[in-house]
Amino acid sequence: MLEDIVHILPQELKAIIYHLPMEVKHSLEEIRIRENRPLEISHRGSFHYATEQGKLVLDPRQAYQPSHEQCRKLLERITNYSLYAMEEELRRGYITIAGGHRIGIAGRTILDGGSVRGIRDIGGFNIRIAREVVGAAKQLLPKLFAGPGGSLQSTLMISPPQQGKTTMLRDVARSLSYGSHGKQLPMKVAIVDERSEIAASVRGIPSFDVGPRTDVMDACPKAEGMMMLLRSMSPDVIIVDEIGRVEDALAIREAAHCGVKVIATAHAYDVQEVLGRSEIRGLIQEKAFGSIVELKRSQHGFMHRIIAVDRLLEHSRQNSGFFSLSRKAGS
């Protein structure tokens, strides 16, 4: 896993990563590389700066500072020496490399009619390390079968960034595809992997184990991918990461009308915050999701709290209406 990252780094940065303490290398979450500024390492929910010798410190003045030349080499390697070929990815602000690792970029934007056409003078990189945790969904999965007759219900998983949403989503897909929950038969699973993070497909082949009955629509916008899979692959369940747009909501409604379950994620700190997003709030009002899972990560694994949408709506009716639930989030 670490080799996927290290091989793209310039030699000086590669040496620093190799010299990090072993326990840090095993728990790496992010490597933040900023031109002429301190090299930052995130692991186990905390951050440090890294010295030239691979020692972790809290004083940024002691940290190694990547040069312009090193940042240029890194950009060349992650774009396979062709900025033009990666123009669409650069416009979105990130590039996904083999292994599902996402590299966010920051620099000077180029505008065209008020819209971002590209990014130039790139001097900031955030390498987010993707990890496959087989069994991550073992405790959660049985609780998703709470529909009529113990059937799978559509579920929205929410958490702040870096709390394991994508890791959990990946293992849910794998488990459903294998049929590993009690008497549950293997299901036909369809993944819309817009950023190539869930399955980490390389030339159409998933790098991660997402199950034997799983089809992946890679590098495709979520809404379009959901509609394409509904028409072509007759899935039992669709897996999709980080919903929120109007188009996403329309596609999820279409899946519900077709009797297809949807397991999706969204960025939010809690239910009240997610209710502040109008499109998702509308889906909850319509019961497009049967439950909401608040997900958090701890040193011992994943923690979750399940909120039944029926109970959420009933609570709203008893407490001055649905919109009172989202007042905290600014609605």
Q: Which of 128, 159, 186 is the last residue of a domain?
A: 128
CA–CA distances in Å: residue 43 to residues 128, 203, 208: 11, 30, 22
Which token pair is 98?
């083999």
pLDDT at 326: 44
134 within domain boundaries: no
Q: Do 148 and 264 belong to one domain? A: yes
Q: Do 311 and 162 belong to one domain? A: yes
Q: Do 282 and 159 belong to one domain? A: yes
Q: Do 201 and 227 belong to one domain? A: yes
Q: Do 294 and 242 belong to one domain? A: yes
pLDDT at 330: 36
Radius of gyration, alpha carbons of the chain: 21
> Which of 88, 101, 89 has the alpha carbon at shortest distance from 200?
101
pLDDT at 300: 66
Amino acid at residue number 246? V
pLDDT at 118: 78
* Rounded distance between C-alpha atoms, residue 103 and residue 105, angstroms: 6
| Torsion region of 63: left, alpha or beta (phi above 0 gives left; psi -120 to 50 gives alpha) | beta
DSSP conformation class of 54:
S
CA–CA distances in Å: residue 179 to residues 66, 142, 184, 211: 47, 11, 5, 9
CATH number, domain with residue 161: 3.40.50.300
Segments in the chain below pLDDT 70: 1, 181-183, 299-301, 320-331
Which token pair is 179?
């049929």
pLDDT at 324: 47
Amino acid at residue number 329? A
135 within domain boundaries: no
> Which of 256, 260, 315 has the alpha carbon at shortest distance from 287?
256
pLDDT at 328: 40
Domain that holds residue 100: 2-128
The string over 279-305, giving b where at least 16 C-beta atoms fall within 10 Å of a residue's C-beta and e elsewhere, is bbbebbeeebbbbbbbbebeeeebebe
Q: Do 115 and 200 belong to one domain? A: no
